[in-house]
Amino acid sequence: MLALSKRHALITGSTQGIGLEIAKALHEAGASVILHGRRTDGDAFRDARLQNQLPATVQVVIGDLADPMPQGPLHVASEALRLNPNIDTLVCNAGTFIDKPFLEMDFQVFDRTLKLNVYSQYVLIQHFARFWVERGIRGRILLIGSINGCLSEPTHVAYDTSKGAIDAMTRSLCVALAPYNIRVNGMAPGLIRTPLTEPALQNPRARQWMELHTPNGVVPGAEACRGAAVFLLSDAAEHIHGQMLLIDGGMSIWQQPDPPPEWMNLPM
């Protein structure tokens, strides 16, 4: 039920971090994979090839999904289909966090965040959905959101806005595409060690605070997202539609992880 041996996947933002781990997991489950990145010289991608976690022949589409719009995403889609016209699985993982404190934000930062984190997903999904419907292909789509789609941080206004949009898009796309046998789900990681988060986690106090705010006390690497991605794209999840599965160690459900001692015996 978890085998993906007949699937052909494009994973955006997959030369490092969560996207690369998802690509490796799909490959191990039997799928053929096409990676995407703005460049191919990432250390993680090169290491995966050297360690035979991905075949040396794996192909990569290069392109900026955010600029110009919609040409950027359409270029990536057309190049991927040129390499493999049998693509039937799309993982929209590419995204960015470039926020400043809200009062210091300029429109260009907000605009690029929304272009990459939201608009590019919309354009890619629409392009592939039209392609699949015309050919009667039972497509599968996985959008990578974030715990920030339902929780907020003061310096993450643009990012939180974009990930909240991904939550809503997952539900709406399910309703729009399920009648065409295209299954749409999402996955929302919590705090995961990636090239984007590693600088903050190098601070021992920051890491300790994050571990305290996670019920299982773990800030894992990107490999924590592998199993959920394979499951949601597999036949085992055939009747799961429009759901956003949080991969967060329970962080999103803990109301008061570190209350003052005098609160401990008070009703909440």
Q: 8-248 — its CATH code?
A: 3.40.50.720
Q: What is the pTM of this model?
A: 0.91
The domain ranges of the chain are 8-248
What is the band of 41 on the pLDDT scale with cuts at 50, 70, 90? low
In this predicted model, which residue has the larger pLDDT, 214 or 268?
Answer: 214
| DSSP character string of 213-266 | TSTT----BGGGGHHHHHHHHSGGGTT--S-EEEESTTGGG-S-SS--GGGTTS
pLDDT tens sequence across 217-259: 888 999 999 999 999 999 999 999 999 999 999 998 887 777 6
Per-residue pLDDT of 99-158, as tens digits, reads 999 999 999 999 999 999 999 999 999 999 999 999 999 999 999 999 999 888 888 999
- Average pLDDT of the chain is 91
